[in-house]
Amino acid sequence: MTEPVEIYRTPGFPVDYQFWQRWSPRAFTGEAIREDQLMSLFEAARWAPSCFNEQPWRFLYAQRDSSDWQLFLDLLMEGNQAWAENSSALIVVLSKKSFSHNGKPNGTHSFDCGAAWQNIALQAALMGLATHGMAGIHYQRIADELNVPDDFNVEMMIAVGVPASADTLEESLREREKPSDRKAVTETCFAGRFPED
């Protein structure tokens, strides 16, 4: 995508540019990224808030030039593999289901991981990289093949890459390769009680 994001997105209220300039492309150059770049993404995740400061997120990752790359790529559903094979790193997001201080169920483990993933996405965008979250993944195989312990939930995978021109994609993906819009704030935020239809 070479066109500016402003063509597709207009904030309804003043908000920092970083929130609406981030989007999820599928066109990646196939370049590798450095380990320290990846660590900056995890560092951003580290500072996410979480219930009881449990920090329930765990990340398993494979760089495209590593021996684990094919293993991770095979854990994506075919539709995602088609474009994610040109990303630079694949990340599996896990969440710890119980609190460490008392062993009781942590009702916000997935929610807290969502905050951590968003930090990764925003930090990547600030670094000129792009992320694309994926639920089209083989959840049970991820748990089995990556030795995920029972107390951890497989949440999603993330493709991290260097953005490329939409022209590098096959036609069906090329047509979809643009920033999406959003519902208006008034459709999702209400003063007081939930509105009746």
Ligand X SMILES: Cc1cc2nc3c(=O)[nH]c(=O)nc-3n(C[C@H](O)[C@H](O)[C@H](O)COP(=O)(O)O)c2cc1C
- Report if residue 134 touches ligand X, rule: CB under 6 A: yes
Instruction: Build a one-symbol-per-residue string for 45-84: x at contacts with ligand X by CB under 6 A, - elsewhere.
Output: -----------------------------------x----
Shorter beta-carbon distance to ligand X: residue 73 or 99:
73
133, 156 in Cβ contact below 8 A? yes
- Report if residue 163 touches ligand X, rule: CB under 6 A: no
Pairing of strands 130-134, 89-96: unpaired
- CB burial of 161-197 (b: ≥16 within 10 Å; e: otherwise) equals bbbbebebbeeebeeebbbeeeeeeeeeeeeeeeeee
Shorter beta-carbon distance to ligand X: residue 67 or 172:
172
Under DSSP, is residue 122 helix (H, G, I), strand (E, B) or coil? Answer: helix
Q: What is the DSSP letter of 29?
A: -
Give the end-to-end CA distance of the chain in Å, rounded to a whole number: 39
- Report if residue 160 touches ligand X, rule: CB under 6 A: no
Question: C-beta of 36: minimal distance to ligand X in Å?
Answer: 25
Candidates 7, 15, 71, 135; binder of ligand X (CB under 6 A) is: 135
The one segment of 63-71, 101-109, 127-135, 145-153 that binds ligand X by CB under 6 A: 127-135
The residues that touch ligand X, with contacts defined as CB under 6 A, are 23-24, 80, 132-136, 156, 179-180
